[in-house]
């Protein structure tokens, strides 16, 4: 019993709670991100994702276990790719354009999610008092249920901003490579598609060596500041309706 008690005392409960918050935030982020791909394709004329049940907010339809764990631990990761057929996107002038629009829908959805949760954070800040401002800076101090709610909103901001920026990297299989294709000449696009299968290897090497750490951190922080700049006046306006 003493050994079990010592083990229990050694558990960092706050870290476990943080992981659980990131897990919940990850499930929301991947469900909306992948569904946005499928819904965008459907609006453009391709019902492949709809027929396969991938336009759904049920995270089990999109979950990739390794990618999910990466999102919880490293705050970036991936889900099961949504099947789409750009040649069935008859509402755009070319399959390349349709694929780019469908790809862009995922990161855009994450930016919008980050904005929504940041507005929630700022609304809580308005009602919770300036004493909770330290939470935005990453410091911890018990503050009841409001602390945990704001912590969850902050996790959602961090994870969605990371996911949006990460997916905009123009390396296959990330969304950025499909968006890049829209500005490439046909010959360059064909060359890119020829070596698409090696993209994941290149991406893994860049991540493993830390080459992308600086640029990703800079872009994520910039996106977070921009989102906050939009969210703060919106939150003040919402709080004003109830004051």
* Residue 194 counted as domain residue: yes
- pLDDT at residue 5 in the model: 52
Residue 108, judged by CB atoms within 10 A of its CB (0-12, 13-18, 19+), counts as: middle
Q: How far apart are CA 27 and CA 78, in angstroms?
A: 11
Find tokens 């006046």 and name the residue. Answer: 233
| Residue of 18, 34, 126, 130 marked catalytic | 34
* Residue 164 counted as domain residue: yes
pLDDT digits (tens, 9 = 90+) for 185-239: 777 777 777 777 888 888 888 888 888 889 999 999 999 999 999 999 999 898 8
pLDDT digits (tens, 9 = 90+) for 117-170: 999 998 888 876 554 445 444 544 545 677 888 889 999 999 999 999 999 998
* Residue 1 counted as domain residue: no
* Residue 191 counted as domain residue: yes
Mean pLDDT: which of 4-8, 64-68, 76-80, 123-127 is highest? 64-68
- pLDDT at residue 183 in the model: 82
2-6, 109-113, 153-157, 160-164: range with lowest mean pLDDT: 2-6
* Residue 36 counted as domain residue: yes
- Give a three-class secondary structure readout of the chain: CHHHHHHHHCCCHHHHHHHHHHHHHHHHHHHHHHHHHHHHHHHCCCCHHHHCCCCCCCHHHCCCHHHHHHHHHHCCCCCCCCCCCHHHCCCCCCHHHHHHHHHHHHHHHHHHHHHHHHHHHHHHHHHHCHHHHHHHHCCCCCCHHHHHHHHHHHHHHHHHHHHHHHHCCCCCCCHHHHHHHCCCCHHHHHHHHHCHHHHHHHHHHHHHCCCCHHHHHHHHHHHHHHHHHHHHHHHHHHHHHCC
Q: How far apart are CA 217 and CA 225, in angstroms?
A: 12
> How many structural domains comprise the chain?
1
* Residue 4 counted as domain residue: no
Q: Is 18 a catalytic residue?
A: no
Residue 208's domain spans which residues?
12-241
* Residue 5 counted as domain residue: no
- pLDDT at residue 9 in the model: 54
């Amino acid at each position: 019993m003493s050994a079990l008690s010592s083990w229990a005392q050694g558990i960092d409960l706050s870290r476990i709670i943080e992981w659980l918050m990131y897990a919940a935030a990850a499930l929301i982020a991947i469900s909306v991100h992948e569904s946005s791909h499928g819904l965008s394709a459907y609006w453009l004329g391709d019902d492949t994702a709809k027929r396969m049940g991938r336009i759904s907010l049920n995270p089990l339809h999109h979950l990739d276990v390794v990618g999910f764990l990466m999102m919880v631990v490293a705050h970036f990761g991936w889900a099961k790719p949504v099947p789409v057929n750009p040649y069935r996107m008859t509402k755009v002038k070319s399959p390349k354009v349709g694929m780019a629009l469908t790809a862009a829908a995922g990161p855009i959805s994450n930016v919008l999610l980050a904005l929504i949760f940041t507005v929630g954070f700022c609304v809580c800040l308005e009602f919770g008092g300036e004493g909770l401002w330290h939470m935005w800076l990453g410091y911890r101090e018990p503050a009841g249920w409001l602390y945990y709610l704001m912590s969850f909103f902050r996790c959602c901001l961090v994870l969605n901003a990371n996911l949006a920026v990460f997916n905009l990297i123009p390396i296959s299989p990330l969304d950025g490579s499909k968006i890049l294709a829209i500005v490439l000449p046909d010959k360059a696009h064909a060359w890119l598609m020829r070596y698409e299968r090696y993209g994941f290897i290149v991406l893994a090497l860049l991540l493993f060596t830390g080459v992308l750490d600086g640029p990703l951190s800079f872009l994520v922080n910039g996106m977070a500041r921009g989102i906050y700049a939009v969210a703060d006046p919106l939150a003040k306006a919402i709080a004003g309706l109830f004051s």
